[in-house]
Amino acid sequence: MLLIFTGEEYYPGGGWDDFQGTAATIEEARGVVESVMGNDDWYQIVDADSLKMIEQGSIKDVTTYDPYEEKRQSVPHTL
């Protein structure tokens, strides 16, 4: 099981306040990251068994011309 955390760069909620949910696979976890609504700028995916970070990165806004459409994309960083 993977734990997913996201937050804003300038205002971290801290710990469990940044917790978004769980996933069985890395692909599913990335999908959770991309579905998070709001202003979150970063994400971390953590292995629940070892408590080691599997992936971290930034969340990029890839909104098109429609101001009411919000689409986000996870951008992994190398650990």
DSSP string, 33-72: HHH--SS--EEEEEETTT--EEEEEEEEE---S-TT---E
| CA distances (Å), origin 30, targets 48, 51, 66, 67 | 16, 18, 24, 24
Q: Residue 74: pLDDT above 80?
A: no
pLDDT of residue 10: 75
The pLDDT confidence band at residue 54, using thresholds 50, 70 and 90, is very high
| Mean pLDDT for the chain overall | 84
Query: What pLDDT digit, counting tens, does each position of 13-51 carry?
Result: 677 889 999 999 999 999 999 888 778 889 999 999 999
pTM of the model: 0.77
